[in-house]
Structure 1
Amino acid sequence: MSTGRGIPEEVIEAVLRQHDIVDTVGKHVHLTKQGKYMKGLCPFHSEKTPSFTVTPERQIFHCYGCGKGGNAIKFRMEIEGLTFPEAVRVMAEEAHIPFEDGMGGQGGSPRDMELEQLLQAHEWTSKLYHYLLKNTEHGKPALEYLRSRGINDKAIDTFQIGYAPARWDTLVQFLDKRSFDLKVMEKGGLISSKQDGTGFVDRFRDRVIFPLHNRTGKVIAFAGRILGDGQPKYLNSSESRLFSKSRTLYNLHQAKTDIRKTRQFVLFEGYGDVISAWDAGVHNGVATMGTSLTESHANIMRSLADEVIVCYDGDNAGQAAALKSISILEGVGFNTKIALLSDGLDPDEFIQKYGAERFKSQVLDGAVTSVKFKLIYLKKNHILLEEDGKIAYIKDALEIIAPLPSPTEREIYLQDLSADLQVSYDSLKQECNELRQAMQKKAPAGDNKAKRWNNGRHKTGQASMPTLLPAYQVAERRLLFYMLQDEEVAQYVSKHLGDDFNIDDHAAIAAYLYAYYAQGKEPDASRFVSSLEDDRLEKTVVAIAMMDIPREWSFQELDDCIREIRRFPLVEQIKRKKEEMVSSERAGDFIRAAQIASEIIALERQ
């Protein structure tokens, strides 16, 4: 049986069985045991006191600060910026669980059929462009261009590089003849509609085509580099259900095997750099899609490795981008190094000029720590031949060194600074210690940013005091808590209360629980959460499942809760009737007031 997401339930259940919540969360959050819970600093918002809680028994997590919660699949979705199907597919692959989502088969929804159609169209389009590059007269100039850039035929085949001809409808005709819905193809970013709305045209024309894959190897988009002059130089597929620039890394599908072995990424800026490095024997390289590095990129990478070497262009723009990437990468807990390229070369140019071995030994093996890179970058902005410039550089450098938590690390950088500028080490150390003390005094009562486990990605205001819930809400949540852990409770509540919960979300959760147990399933909060497909309801269920109340129940307690739930609408009705009676008395309509009074008495008897 498939879920509404087109994924067989048995696959989801197998994924949840194979991915323990503590192991899954523990790769990103430092957890400590507190009774039956595991606690740590939330990776989704900035906090100093741990409010992020994992319950191994129920296989769920919940943050009392920001409200995020769910099971292991939900955690991977949030931390890596994945959709539900993407997260399940990745986790299934990691656990060697066979995964055929059945999209397009019997029981698949029209939405799944559309997704399957887009994936198939992208695969065929990739093969078409690759064929046109290698086997037609149209493709010869593009093939010569690639070879002139040092990209050989083996690399062209490995990366399935192609060519889109300088025609308006090559791909449109290709897809139309194969009965693809062109409106769906436009939504998927493969083609564009004409301005006058009379038809469609190819999105890519006279461009070298680089297929873009998701991490499981499916083609989901394309990047096209123009031949000759023209703008834009690079053009990506438009954002679609399949493709998001902020969550896609070029070559991750091929590089992930080597990345898992080495626990290291090499992060490049461009496709050409990745391809040249691959040909040079560097098989753990990826690149962003012509966009700046995002937190989603960093989280995806962090799930696979511990260290990253940022290998951006050696010019000013590349080095500025490398500097900007450091805080994002270290924010998710990466050990970050920066590769230094001489003469303003980019990695592709360096490999073509000096060869593979020198690139690996000099550039990658010689990569410096992020602190060292910051000091080198900073040094370029000061004129050290002048005393004022030297003093200003020392002041700025100490602001980088002073916050470092390790005394040994501070000492190494201070010694380097002393030797480089011929300044007394003792005076630098004294000034560094004074600056460190001043920084600690000024530090706000917030995050300790040196703690690499706390991502601190979102700032929050002061923690609010817990709100005291009305009695009927407490009763509803208590009933749902017991229903989550015992089918007998769900059957009793279904018989005596049904869907007469006062809060719509609680009524919806109860309805889902009735259906869940009707399918013969065992009580399992994690499994039930996966069946909901509603983010708000998922959060509510997790918050209820994490309530710290005794798990033992009695029919007397259930009856008390049901009575309180049924009582609330009557109390509200009485309140409204009393207001109506007062209004009638003020208007002089005493007969109506007397009628309302009798209605109030009847309601109070109920």
Structure 2
Amino acid sequence: MANQSVTEQVKESVDIVDLISEYVDLEKRGSNYLGLCPFHNENTPSFNVNKEKGFYYCFGCQASGSVIDFYKEMENLSFSEALRDLGNRAGLKIKYKQESINSKDLQLIKMHEHLVDLYHEILTETKEGETALNYLLDRGFTLEQIKREKIGLSPNMSDGTIKVLEKLGYSKEMMYQAGLVARNEETFQYFDRFRNRIMIPIKNHKGRYVAFTARALGDDHPKYLNSPETDIFHKSRLIFNLSDSYKVIQDRKEVIMMEGHMDVLKVKGTNIKNVVGTMGTSVSKEQIEILKRVTQNITLMFDGDKAGKNATTSVGEKILEMQANPYVISLPSGMDPDEYIEKYGSESFENYIKENRDHFILYDAKEKLKDSKDNDLMFTENLNRSIQLLKYVQNEVEESRILRGLSDLYEIEADLIKRQLPKRKEVRRQKETFHRPSILNVTSREFKERHIIHTFINDKSALETFKSKLDSELFQTEGYYGIIKNLVEYFSEFDTFDKQMFLSYIDHEQLSNLERILDTDLPILGESELNDYVNAISGMSSSSGEKNKLIKEIEQAELIGDDTRALELFSQLIELQKSPKSK
């Protein structure tokens, strides 16, 4: 990762207005530029760009940052990748280290990459794979699609995968940690987790293979078997096919979310490419936040069985509460997408998608009314539910359209329903609890604290040198000083850091903090840099009062709608954060 001077060089060389204008229509307003925010859905422009200061700020969702931050978010890149691309754009000769991946994690990824190739070869090039290959071809997959998606077949052996990976130098314990083999906990005998199954590889959001979905051939149970959670595969933070569909979703301004990975692959064979899959029927807030960075319009196309309908209700509510736009496509007779395409063909499926999309609130009302049309009590409860859901819709045009739909469904005048809605300003204040992370959230202080701990994790001697200077007042981010104390205890017994071993030293509540630190792509600080960082956060407290005062004034200005004053204050906040005591 590049150092700070290179970062500043890129910021100075790339015109922030020119770059953002490639994504947003900007209009000059005084010393700033104004446009519709690309990070949330709005009708009235609230997205400001200040060319002189080199930052953007949205008064609607509080998204903010530099030209690098903007490009990183829009293109779904890491900081290093964004820095590289913008450096090339500006004609700068930048020397930077390649993104570092924890050596253990890299081993786990490499194992998956080896097996993706092996399983694919078994399916497409061997006699053993003929039955599975014919099954896929009969299901409507083309050979070209099978090769593009690297679908494979695991060998019908209890140790086929183990033998292959052992020849490549991997231990059984490492295979187990990768989720590729299982273990009898009584005998500690290892065996292949996936046996005689169609293997669908799962990529992380950077396009690296990290897991599998495995479909049984014949009547074996379970029908689908997924990789377990590992250090490189977190189901609540990963969305199937997002790395492949990211650009299409951006272009079409909509994502269609499905349950089955096989469904997603089948639909990708049509002209509908903006599709992703869940990691089960539950969808986390973190997954929704990830999708919101790409599009505000999330369409649910879950199976028509009871579990699928329950998931649609749960996820739809969550999307609404997080201020995105949920839609629903219900297939006839409880079919799944794969079955529909097989029965009616791709063209019919594409037309069905275009013609059968309901806003979640209307879908929800229709489902509830099926059981309550002749029950006055349930009818009133369901109407009140629809009104409570409608309060989250911030787009007035969309609100009007939904009101007309609810009026038709409940046979009540739209104006009467609208009068029951809470005032929009009250909901707007609620909305702020769901905005995406910004530089006001991940502060310069927290970044430095995280960087220091990241260095200590990777350099025991650095911790030994500095531990006498460390105390609870120095580390103010909640939970960080606790991790420091645990590291001191851990390194009193071990010379190198091992995440699994370290987990026994920390409380469950600290796990999310540890994950954030480990997931941050940062270089290891040298002794002089560490000393600067420790001295810097020691001096930050003196400026914290002024910073908090500015933040409160910004909030007050936003509350009364004085955007000019708020932007002026935000500019002061940026300057304060640039000052040595704040950094």
Q: Name the TM-score class by shorter chain.
A: 0.5 to 0.7
Partner of 2:508: none
After the TM superposition, which of the residue ranges 125-134 and 192-201 deviates more from structure 2? 192-201
Q: Hey, what's the Cα distance between the residues in 1 that align with 2:342 and 2:426?
A: 51
The answer as to 2:228 corresponding to 1:242 is: no
Aligned to 2:124: 134
Q: Any residues of structure 2 matched to 1:475-486 within 5 Å, and which? A: none
- Alpha-carbon distance in structure 2 between the residues aligned to 1:87 and 1:101: 12
Secondary structure, aligned partner of 1:208: strand
The 5 A counterparts of 1:459-538 are none
Pairing of 1:369-384 with structure 2 (within 5 A): 369-382=359-372, 384=373
Change in CA separation of 1:367 and 1:335 when aligned onto 2, cut-off 3 Å: same
CA distance in 2, matches of 1:139, 1:354: 28
Query: 1:487 aligns to what?
Result: none
User: Scaled by the length of structure 2, what TM-score is found?
Assistant: 0.61
Say whether the 8 Å CA contact 1:70–1:539 is kept in structure 2.
no
Rounded to whole Å, the distance in 2 between the matches of 1:381 and 1:170 is: 53
The total of aligned residue pairs comes to: 456
Alpha-carbon distance between aligned partners in 2 of 1:530 and 1:248, rounded to the nearest angstrom: 22
Which residue does the alignment assign to 1:146? 136
Name the SS for the 2:349 alignment partner. Answer: helix
Shift of 1:176: 1.4
Residue aligning to 1:486: none
1:145-294 aligned within 5 A: 145-195=135-185, 200-294=190-284
Task: Tell me how far 1:154 sits from its aligned partner.
Answer: 2.2
- Whichever residue aligns with residue 163 of structure 2, its letter is Q
Aligned to 1:455: 434
Equivalent-residue separation in structure 1 for 2:287 and 2:293 (angstroms): 10
Residue in 2 that maps onto 1:435: 420
Distance change (3 Å), C-alpha of 1:187 and 1:541: farther
Report if the CA contact (8 A) 1:220-1:242 is conserved: yes
1:289-342 CA-partner distances (Å, limit 9, x unpaired)? 235211221122222223222211123322221221123333444332211211
Pick closer, same or farther for the CA change 1:15–1:206 going to 2, 3 Å.
Answer: farther
In 2, the alpha carbon distance for the partners of 1:375 and 1:72 equals: 43
Give secondary structure in 2 for the equivalent of 1:139: helix
Are 1:340 and 2:340 counterparts? no
Q: Offset at 1:550?
A: 13
Shift of 1:141: 2.9
1:367 aligns with one of 349, 357, 365? 357
Change (3 A) 1:305 1:17: farther
Deviation at 1:373, TM superposition (A): 1.5
Matches within 5 A, 1:407-446: 412-420=401-409, 423=411, 425=413, 429-430=415-416, 432=417, 435-436=420-421, 439=422
SS at match of 1:336: strand
- Would you say the 8 A contact 1:341–1:363 is kept in 2? no
Check conservation: 1:15, 1:91, Cα contact below 8 A. Answer: no
Distance in structure 1 (CA, Å) of the matches to 2:15 and 2:178: 32
Task: Give the residue type in structure 2 aligned to 1:270.
Answer: G
* Residue 322 of structure 1: aligned partner: 312
Contact 1:309–1:364, Cα closer than 8 Å, also in 2: no
Cα separation, partners in 2 of 1:57 and 1:416, compared to 1, 3 Å: closer
Once the two structures are TM-superposed, the CA of residue 125 in structure 1 deviates from its matched residue by 0.8
Answer whether contact 1:265 1:309 (CA < 8 A) is retained: yes
Q: SS of the residue aligned with 2:271?
A: coil
Specify the alignment match of 1:50 in structure 2. none
Q: Aligned pair in 2 of structure 1 residues 131, 542: CA closer, same or farther (>3 Å)?
A: farther
2:494 corresponds to which residue? none
Alignment-derived partner of residue 303 in structure 2:
313
**Separation (CA, whole Å) in 1 of partners of 2:115 and 2:8:** 31
Q: Secondary structure at the match of 1:293?
A: coil
Q: 1:195 to 1:367 in 2, by over 3 A?
A: same
| Cα shift readout 1:566-585 (whole Å, capped 9, x = no counterpart) | xxxxxxxxxxxxxxxxxxxx
CA distance in 1, matches of 2:419, 2:354: 36
Letter matched to residue 435 of structure 1: Q
Contact 2:320 2:389 in 1 (8 A): no
**Cα distance, 1:196–1:359 mapped onto 2, change above 3 Å:** same
SS in 1 for 2:141: coil
1:444–1:424 Cα change, 3 Å: closer
**Structure 1 residue 344, shift from structure 2 partner:** 0.8
Q: How much does 1:274 deviate?
A: 0.9
**Whole-Å separation in 2 of the counterparts to 1:433 and 1:191:** 57
Residue 304 (structure 1) aligns with: 294
Aligned partner of residue 215 in structure 2, secondary structure = strand
Structure scoring higher RCO (CA < 8 A, sep ≥ 6) equals 1
TM-superposition CA deviations, 1:438-460 (whole Å, max 9, x none)? x56xx9989634x4x651799xx
Q: With structure 1 as the length reference, what TM-score do the two structures score?
A: 0.59
Q: Are the structure 2 counterparts of residues 176 and 69 from structure 1 closer, same or farther at C-alpha, using a change threshold of 3 Å?
A: farther
| C-alpha spacing 1:305/1:177, structure 2 compared with 1 (3 Å) | same
Q: In the alignment, which of 101, 110, 116 is matched to residue 120 of structure 1?
A: 110
How far apart are residue 389 of structure 1 and its match?
A: 5.6
- Conserved in 2, the CA contact under 8 Å of 1:164 and 1:208? yes
**How far is 1:167 from its partner?**
0.9
Q: CA RMSD in A?
A: 5.6
Shift in CA distance, 358/101, structure 1 to aligned 2, threshold 3 Å: farther
Q: Deviations over 1:137-192 (max 9, x none)?
A: 33233223323432232221121111112211111111111223443333222333
Structure 2 distance, partners of 1:243, 1:308, is: 23
Structure 2 unpaired stretches of 5+: 24-28, 40-48, 58-62, 438-444, 450-467, 481-520, 548-571
Give CA deviations for 1:534-563 in whole Å, capped at 9, x if unaligned. Answer: 9x98988987588489999xxxxx9xx9xx
Change (3 A) 1:542 1:162: farther
**Compared with structure 1, are the counterparts of its residues 118 and 412 closer, same or farther at alpha carbon in structure 2 (3 Å cutoff)?**
closer
CA distance in 1, matches of 2:123, 2:84: 36
Amino acid at match of 2:200: F
Q: Aligned partners of 2:394, 2:103: CA distance in 1, in Å?
A: 54
Tell me if structure 2 keeps the 8 A contact 1:11–1:99.
Answer: no
The match for 2:499 is none
Q: Conserved in 1, the CA contact under 8 Å of 2:281 and 2:308?
A: no
How far apart are the structure 2 equivalents of 1:89 and 1:331?
Answer: 32
The aligned amino acid for 1:341 is L
Rounded Cα–Cα distance in structure 2 between residues aligned with 1:223 and 1:8: 41
SS in 1 for 2:222: coil
Does structure 2 conserve the Cα–Cα contact (< 8 Å) formed by 1:272 and 1:348? yes
2:211 aligned counterpart, secondary structure: strand
Is the CA contact (8 Å cut-off) linking 2:241 and 2:276 kept in structure 1? yes
Q: What do residues 107-147 of structure 1 show as CA deviations (whole Å, max 9, x unaligned)?
A: x99x7443333332221110100111122233233223323
**Counterpart Cα distance in 2 of 1:291 and 1:244:** 15
